[in-house]
Amino acid sequence: MNRAWAAFRAHPYISNVVGYTVLFASADLFQQRVLGRRDASVAFVGVDWRQTARVATVGFCFHANFNYQWLRWLEKMLPGGGVKAVTGKVLVDQLVAAPLTISAFYIGLSLLENKDDLLQDWREKFWTSYKTGVVFWSTMQAVNFSLVPPVARTVFLGGVALVFTIFLCHLRQQKGGKLE
């Protein structure tokens, strides 16, 4: 375990971005297998691998890289893990990063799917996603900013994003942005 941590610390950008991307794509696989109500008795039958590749692409090209840089910037602007710094980080994160990352998810996937109206999913599902995310992410980011060392925050975020991305992938499959 010490070697793995040493490698992680030696290459934080690569470790964080790759780890985040794998977790992000895993969320789509989980959503397809469990929430997508496919035949769970046969592993990976009926998985839309192109959909998972699109989610991984959005995760890698935007989310993982953005979050890595964003978390570094937040730590520079509001250093430390005290109540005031953590509260400031959570507030700025929810007001700035949350709308950007949710928008990138919906618009990025629509772009990769060559949809005629790139903003349709965003218009239908943004507010449901954002309101849910404010509750979920405020708590998770408070834990991240107060307990996780800065070098591991992006990959921690990827683990937490696994849960939220399952929600986003599932919501994206619903008509009109309402959970059924």
In this predicted structure, what is the pLDDT of residue 32?
85
Q: Which domain holds residue 47?
A: 2-177
- Is the pLDDT at 177 greater than 60? The verdict is no
Termini Cα distance of the chain = 43
The model's pLDDT over 38-72, given as tens digits with 9 standing for 90+, comes to 444 445 567 889 999 999 999 999 988 898 899 99
Cα 87 from Cα 96, distance rounded (Å): 14
Structurally, the chain folds into a number of domains equal to 1
Do 155 and 19 meet the contact criterion of CB atoms below 8 Å apart?
A: yes
Question: Looking at residue 31, what is its pLDDT?
Answer: 85
Q: Dump pLDDT digits (tens) for 117-156.
A: 999 999 999 999 999 999 999 999 999 999 998 888 888 8
Model confidence, pTM: 0.83
Query: What is the pLDDT, as a whole number, of residue 41?
Result: 47
CA nearest to 109, candidates 46, 17, 27:
27
Question: Regarding predicted confidence, which is higher, 81 or 17?
Answer: 81
The DSSP letter of residue 62 is: I
CA distances 16 to 7, 10, 24, 103, 163, Å, are: 11, 11, 12, 22, 17
